[in-house]
Homo-oligomer: A and B are copies of this chain.
Amino acid sequence: MTKSSDHPDVPDLAEVDVLTVLQALSDPVRLNIVRQLAACSDPAELMCGQIELPVAKSTGSHHLKALVRAGITTEREQGTCKYVRLRRDELEQRFPGLLDSVLQAVAAG
């Protein structure tokens, strides 16, 4: 029981390699998703449908799952909708400063 959730592919961040995170963030679509998630700190989560995706729906689904498997996000289902949330605090604990510096670099253009 080393999972942080009952969902099968949500990893415990202690078992996530920094390479996995870097690889997940090194895709333009995924980095864009992370940026949008970081921008909405109000409810701290976004509906899948609210996320701007320049790709087909199935491709977006693929990327969202990749982010979950990399330990960067978690998902919560509510009816037919799904809410996506950044694991900011856990990521900060596991990789201090990493996400913030990436987000800052993204925001800086």
Contact (Cβ within 8 A) A19 B28: yes
How many residues in A have their beta carbons less than 8 Å from beta carbons of B?
Answer: 20
The dominant DSSP class at the A interface is helix
Q: Does A102 contact B (CB under 8 A)?
A: yes
Within 8 Å of chain B (Cβ to Cβ): is A90? no
A26 within 8 A of B: yes
Per-residue CB contact flags for chain A residues 6-46 toward chain B (1 = under 8 Å, else 0) read 00000000000011011101101001000000000000000
- Max chain B Cβ within 10 angstroms of own Cβ: one of A19, A22, A101: A22
- With beta carbons under 8 angstroms apart, the residue of B26, B94, B104 that contacts A22 is B26
Chain B: minimal CB distance from A31 (Å): 6
